[in-house]
């Protein structure tokens, strides 16, 4: 059974920025998306600081966020990438399967990747993820490079929000028509 320790806090800054963005979007009536907590069973707790230092995951998680944008169901995961190469091992097979099933139900699935060295975000649509995932399963690269990405889906902070991803959802929708 997988365990969690302080490594589990990786990406917490990105998630905090996304949470603040979602709060602003919600206040503006643009969407209602919530962070999905990962159920854990604490094993060790630092009583002085009131922090969990070791825990076990109770079950496999799906994605980080689920909600609705202007009547469209969305689900997504948030990942950080320090280098110009994103390892697909950062995405789990059960997450890809969940995203596939979500898409089959008429929803939109994607991954928000923050390239920390470039201070840029990338909206990785499920369709694009599937391309890289299939390549890996067929014996190809187990990662994708920054220079392989569709530049239309790169964005930076702005418009009064930290992670302004709504415009990229619209671009994804436009490409599906």
Total domains, the chain: 1
Asked if 113 and 76 touch (Cβ cutoff 8 Å), the reply is: no
87 within domain boundaries = yes
Categorize the per-residue pLDDT at 1 as very low, low, confident or very high, splitting at 50, 70 and 90: very low
Looking at residue 43, its pLDDT comes to 66
* pLDDT tens-place string over residues 19-75: 999 999 999 999 999 998 766 666 677 778 877 777 555 556 689 999 999 999 999
Q: How far is residue 148's CA from residue 84's CA, in Å, rounded to a whole number?
A: 10
41 within domain boundaries = no
Residue 77 is assigned to a ligand binding site: yes
Residue 62 is assigned to a ligand binding site: yes
Q: How far is residue 149's CA from residue 169's CA, in Å, rounded to a whole number?
A: 16
52 within domain boundaries = no
Domain span at residue 120?
13-36+62-176
Asked if 111 and 77 touch (Cβ cutoff 8 Å), the reply is: yes
- Residue that is written with structure tokens 């969305």 in the block: 74
Question: 3: which DSSP letter?
Answer: E
Q: How far is residue 87's CA from residue 142's CA, in Å, rounded to a whole number?
A: 6
Question: Average pLDDT, stretch 113-119?
Answer: 94
51 within domain boundaries = no
Asked if 8 and 44 touch (Cβ cutoff 8 Å), the reply is: no
23 within domain boundaries = yes
Asked if 98 and 75 touch (Cβ cutoff 8 Å), the reply is: yes
27 within domain boundaries = yes
CATH assignment at residue 148: 3.40.1350.10
* pLDDT tens-place string over residues 147-159: 999 999 999 998 7
Looking at residue 2, its pLDDT comes to 42
The residues, ordered by sequence, that sit 6+ positions from 103 with a Cβ below 8 Å of its Cβ are 109, 126
Looking at residue 59, its pLDDT comes to 55
Looking at residue 8, its pLDDT comes to 43
Q: Residue 38 corresponds to which tokens in the numbers above?
A: 């990962």
5-14, 61-70, 72-81, 99-108, range with the lowest pLDDT: 5-14
Centroid of chain to Cα 59? 18
1 within domain boundaries = no
Asked if 34 and 65 touch (Cβ cutoff 8 Å), the reply is: yes
Per DSSP, the residues of 64-105 read SEEEEETTEEEEEEEEEESSSEEEGGGS-HHHHHHHHHHHHT
Question: Average pLDDT, stretch 125-150?
Answer: 97
Looking at residue 55, its pLDDT comes to 59
């Amino acid at each position: 059974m997988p365990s969690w320790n302080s490594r589990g806090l990786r990406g917490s800054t990105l998630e905090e920025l996304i949470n603040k963005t979602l709060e602003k979007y919600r206040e503006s009536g643009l969407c209602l998306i919530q962070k999905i907590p990962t159920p854990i069973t604490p094993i060790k707790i630092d009583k002085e600081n009131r922090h969990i230092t070791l825990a076990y995951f109770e079950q496999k998680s799906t994605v980080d966020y689920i909600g609705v944008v202007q009547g469209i169901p969305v689900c997504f995961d948030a990942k950080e990438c320090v280098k110009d190469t994103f390892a697909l091992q950062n995405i789990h097979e059960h997450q890809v399967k969940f995203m596939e099933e979500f898409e089959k139900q008429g929803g939109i699935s994607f991954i928000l990747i923050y390239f920390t060295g470039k201070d840029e975000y990338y909206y990785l649509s499920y369709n694009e993820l599937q391309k890289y995932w299939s390549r890996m399963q067929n014996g190809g690269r187990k990662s994708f490079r920054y220079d392989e990405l569709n530049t239309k889906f790169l964005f930076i902070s702005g418009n009064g929000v930290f992670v302004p991803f709504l415009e990229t959802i619209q671009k994804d929708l436009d490409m599906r028509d």
